[in-house]
């Protein structure tokens, strides 16, 4: 039965694997999904091909030999059983606690005894060193896999506790509080003042709109919040007269100029020679 597994970004930069054709690299990933919790599966190339490449014409046995040549897998026989062992499987994978123990022997003939998996998963977040002194890159698990094991749906409390205040606030109530804006460069007092000016909650949509308009104006979100708080604006628009030192209502200057031009008989596009 295929299972969900972790894949780390550094996999694609592994100095040993990049020398292999992409079919071998994809096969290696596929082996993880059909291996048991100890990283073992029966060495049956034809069956493996039907599991992973049912519609492709390739030599699965030759590709397995290429993976074995760079020590990514071990192929051995014991007691009539032909077995593939994914090297360092336990370092990089985090099997679900309900997965059954392996029924295949290791290269020494040992078979794991059924036992409960530990409550706390402890997969390593560091890529194993390449063979023959080849370079490797230290990497971490995908962010999603740190927070949620693909199969268990059990959040990792240690990671959840370190989630940013803004994300936690959105999960709880949907709206943002002034302290949620601090990690994005907004001074807490400016955020509180803007919250009072708005007279309504700071919704995620309102916050994203402000950041987008701030980017158009070439100012930081923190500066945009300060301007809004100082001028009594509920929101920020890059087209408003936000650079003026005097307090002004949005579009007040442009509206006044347009009205004066209209009264003098000018039309849009006319040049007014002062």
DSSP-assigned letters across all residues of 147-159 = HB-TTT--B-HHH
Whether residue 38 is found in the same domain as residue 128: yes
**182: in domain:** yes
Residue 57: DSSP 8-state: -
pLDDT at 213 exceeding the cut of 60: yes
**Strand positions, DSSP E, the chain:** 40-42, 73-78, 81-86
- Note whether 139 and 184 are same-domain residues: no
What gap in Å lies between CA 127 and CA 36, rounded to an integer? 20
Residue 200 has what DSSP assignment?
S
Please determine, for residue 28, whether its predicted confidence score (pLDDT) is greater than 90. yes
Q: What is the pLDDT of residue 102?
A: 87
Summarize the confidence of residues 240-256 as an average pLDDT: 57
**Claim to verify: residue 156 and residue 174 sit in the same structural domain:** no
Domain count, the chain: 2
Task: Examine the fold and report which residue of 160, 183, 210 is the final residue of a domain before the chain moves on.
Answer: 160
Residue 74's pLDDT is 94
Based on the domain organization, do 156 and 88 belong to the same domain?
A: yes
**pLDDT at position 225 over 80:** yes
Say whether pTM exceeds 0.95: no
Residues 244 and 114 in one domain: no
Q: Which residue has the higher pLDDT, 178 or 166?
A: 178
- Cα–Cα nearest to 197, from 172, 167, 234, 224: 234
Which domain, by its residues, includes 15?
9-160
271 domain residue, yes or no: no
Q: Two tokens at 225?
A: 């919040």
pLDDT at 260: 53
């Amino acid at each position: 039965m295929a299972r969900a597994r972790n894949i780390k970004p550094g996999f694609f930069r592994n100095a040993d694997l990049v020398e292999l054709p992409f079919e071998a690299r994809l096969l290696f990933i596929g082996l993880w999904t059909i291996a048991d919790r100890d990283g073992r599966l029966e060495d049956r190339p034809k069956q493996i091909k039907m599991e992973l490449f049912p519609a492709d014409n390739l030599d699965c046995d030759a590709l397995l030999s290429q993976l074995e040549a760079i020590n990514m897998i071990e192929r051995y026989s014991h007691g009539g059983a032909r077995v593939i062992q994914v090297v360092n499987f336990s370092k990089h994978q985090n099997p679900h606690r309900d997965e059954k123990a392996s029924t295949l022997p290791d290269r020494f003939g040992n078979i794991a005894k059924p036992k409960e998996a530990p409550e706390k998963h402890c997969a390593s977040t560091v890529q194993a060193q390449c063979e023959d002194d080849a370079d490797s890159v230290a990497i971490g698990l995908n962010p999603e896999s740190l927070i949620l094991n693909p199969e268990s749906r059990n959040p990792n409390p240690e990671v959840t506790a370190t989630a940013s205040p803004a994300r936690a606030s959105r999960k709880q109530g949907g709206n943002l509080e002034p302290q949620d804006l601090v990690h994005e460069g907004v001074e807490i007092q400016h955020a509180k003042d803007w919250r009072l000016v708005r007279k309504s909650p700071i919704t995620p949509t309102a916050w994203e709109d402000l950041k987008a308009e701030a980017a158009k104006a070439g100012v930081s979100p923190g500066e945009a919040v300060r301007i809004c708080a100082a001028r009594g604006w509920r929101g920020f628009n890059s087209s408003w007269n936000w650079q003026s030192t005097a307090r002004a209502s949005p579009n007040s200057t442009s509206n006044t100029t347009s009205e004066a031009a209209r009264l003098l008989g000018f039309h849009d596009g006319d040049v007014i020679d002062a």
